[in-house]
Structure 1
Amino acid sequence: MTAHAAARRRITAAFADAGVTGLLHAVDIDTGTALGIGSDTLVPTASVHKLCLVATLYRQSSLGLIDPTRPVEIPAIPAEDRAPGATGLSVMRDAARLSLRDLASLAVAVSDNTAADLLWDALGLDTVNATMTGLGLTRTHAVQTMRELFATVREDAAGEPAALTDPAVVARLRALDPTRTNRSTPREITALLAAVWRDEVCAGEYGEELRALLGLQAWSHRLAAGFPFDDVRVSGKTGSLPTLRHEAGVVEYPDGGRYAVAVFTRAASTDVTLPAADAVIGGAARIAVDALRA
């Protein structure tokens, strides 16, 4: 059995032990050597799609098509067009004024849905999709903003949050159907990240700022949990919806090794708190990266 085949078996077993089905793609950014499980399967991206959003902002900025320092006025709550969320502008009460790039920081650092929607409004779904197509990511497509996505969740759950623990309700959520929501594949998400790290999305100061921004994420319980070392840098973006726990990011070692990893999971349980399902994302990523480094 090859090292990569052994790694795939270990990852599959880890997913099963955690009570999830999982998809994974990991690639050495510099050599192109890759390892995957279901790498070309279409998946609902949830907040992982914010990677496409902020990459588009910086690519447009590098081309002189948009000013990332342009200020945006955010109205005070109550404001019906604010996306729901547990962090950032989604829960803040007062009016604010932030630049596009500071909105991007919030969208990544704390997965702020309202900040992301203000970026969607500024850039447009068509621009983000055209940017992905231009990068060769033809299966990566956005059909809705975050507020529109969560509106479908409310509608499908008949406005009852408690219904989201009912497997029958969860099974019919449009937000979990990759043909009806924002979508991509594990391979295309790692291709986007590799392009960011190779300065193919935007170069110079724009590329440096984009990579720094992707290192701001506050959550360390998924991908980063697999690499608990002071000298290993993990930059990434999580995504969560009922039963879905995702993360995609880049792992950088002090010897110069750089690896883009995307892990998408769906839990059998509808419980909101499933520590094992979160932890397996980092565990699976670590097995994959170790195999690539071997």
Structure 2
Amino acid sequence: MSGVRARIRTVFADAGVTGWMHAVDIDAGTGTRAEVAVGAETPVSTASVHKLCLAVTVQRLADEGRLDLDAQVESLPGDRTPGPTGLAMLSGPVRMSVRDLLAMALTVSDNTAADLLFDRVGLAAVNDAMRAIGLRRTVAVHTMRDLIAAVDEDCGGDEARLRSDPALLARLRVLDPARANHSTPRDMTRLLTALWRDEACSPDRARELRAVLGLQVWPHRLAAGFPYDDVRVYGKTGTLPTLRHEAGVVEYPDGGRYAVAVFTRAARAAARQPAADAAIGTVARLAVRALRAH
């Protein structure tokens, strides 16, 4: 796999990012499992990719009878976590089920929906669930509202300063995996593998969660690497200043299933980073092709 690793490093360099990734064949035997890894053990600030950990926790708690997915939760305009999508866009009170909040958190990366779930289950439960699945380097330390508040505080209320002040960008706490929600590419593929093998939660709830992950609306990262009608891509993105991530699963019509996690960090904080977005799909395609040829 050294050849594909070299090509992946070139893709990252050409996109102007530092990148870390891991890809694995979900159905290969554990002892002989082929993998493609570039910095796969590197801790990275996960941004909204951590909503995947939250989602698995919600399903596990529902399995245990500790959480009712049909329970109704009220969201009031003044209590919503800022964000460009989802409930933060709405002007009136909203009531929806825990199940629907989960769908919003994953499909459009709704920060308010995620925080209503974090408030319901607690950060400790998310970390307990990840440890139970075997993820030793994946830790949630804040909610989405705390993440956004930290960015606002570090920027003095003016996030635009990040694009002109490299020193400020370097001090941003949410970009430091030692002070933010964090994981590694290998941990993320381990979580996805457990979910696709019905080991992360019960088969029915795993099936439900996989279906929601297949409805994610962002096609410009992982999915962009597989523009084929007969290949299905499931995933969860994460975005912060300089960070562009996605972790997901690629399914081929012959039954092949591949878990992929790609994390990138750029040198600049531009709101639009199409080269970084495209690199995620390209790297995923290179890795999956190598696994299929192994």
TM-score w.r.t. the length of structure 1 is 0.96
Q: Residue 151 of structure 2 contacts residue 159 of structure 2 at CA under 8 Å; is this kept in 1?
A: no
1:220 is paired with a residue whose SS is coil
**1:163 corresponds to:** 161
Q: Residue 9 of structure 2 contacts residue 19 of structure 2 at CA under 8 Å; is this kept in 1?
A: yes
Q: Residue 138 of structure 2 contacts residue 187 of structure 2 at CA under 8 Å; is this kept in 1?
A: yes
**1:34 corresponds to:** 35
**1:135 corresponds to:** 133
Instruction: Give the C-alpha shift of residue 210 in structure 1.
Output: 1.0
Instruction: Give the C-alpha shift of residue 270 in structure 1.
Output: 2.0
Write the distance in 2 (CA, Å) between the matches of 1:197 and 1:264. 21
Instruction: Give the C-alpha shift of residue 203 in structure 1.
Output: 2.4
RMSD: 0.8
Equivalent position amino acid for 2:18 in 1: T
Give structure 1 regions of 4+ aligned residues with deviation exceeding 6 angstroms: none
Aligned counterparts, 1:21-170, within 5 A = 21-31=18-28, 32-75=33-76, 77=77, 79=78, 81-165=79-163, 166-170=165-169
Equivalent position amino acid for 1:92 in 2: L
**1:18 corresponds to:** 15
Instruction: Give the C-alpha shift of residue 52 in structure 1.
Output: 0.1
Instruction: Give the C-alpha shift of residue 137 in structure 1.
Output: 0.5
Deviations 1:81-134 (A, max 9, x none): 421110000121110001011001000110000000000001100101100011
2:261 is paired with a residue whose SS is strand
TM-score w.r.t. the length of structure 2 is 0.96
1:261 is paired with a residue whose SS is strand
Q: Show structure 1 runs of 5+ residues with no match.
A: none
Deviations 1:137-167 (A, max 9, x none): 1110000000001100000001112112122
Write the distance in 1 (CA, Å) between the matches of 2:7 and 2:34. 19
**1:254 corresponds to:** 253
Equivalent position amino acid for 1:49 in 2: H
Q: Percent identity?
A: 61
Instruction: Give the C-alpha shift of residue 269 in structure 1.
Output: 2.2
**1:9 corresponds to:** 6
Residues paired across the two proteins, number: 288
**2:290 corresponds to:** 291
Equivalent position amino acid for 1:145 in 2: T
Instruction: Out of 158-167 and 23-32, give the one that drifted further.
Output: 158-167
Instruction: Give the C-alpha shift of residue 198 in structure 1.
Output: 0.1
Equivalent position amino acid for 1:24 in 2: M
Deviations 1:42-84 (A, max 9, x none): 0000000000000111111122221111110111x2x1x4211
Aligned counterparts, 1:256-275, within 5 A = 256-275=255-274
**2:220 corresponds to:** 221
Instruction: Out of 268-277 and 279-288, give the one that drifted further.
Output: 268-277
Equivalent position amino acid for 2:159 in 1: P
2:249 is paired with a residue whose SS is strand
Write the distance in 1 (CA, Å) between the matches of 2:81 and 2:170. 23
Q: Show structure 2 runs of 5+ residues with no match.
A: none
1:117 is paired with a residue whose SS is helix
Deviations 1:227-282 (A, max 9, x none): 00000000000000000000000000000000000000001222111211110000
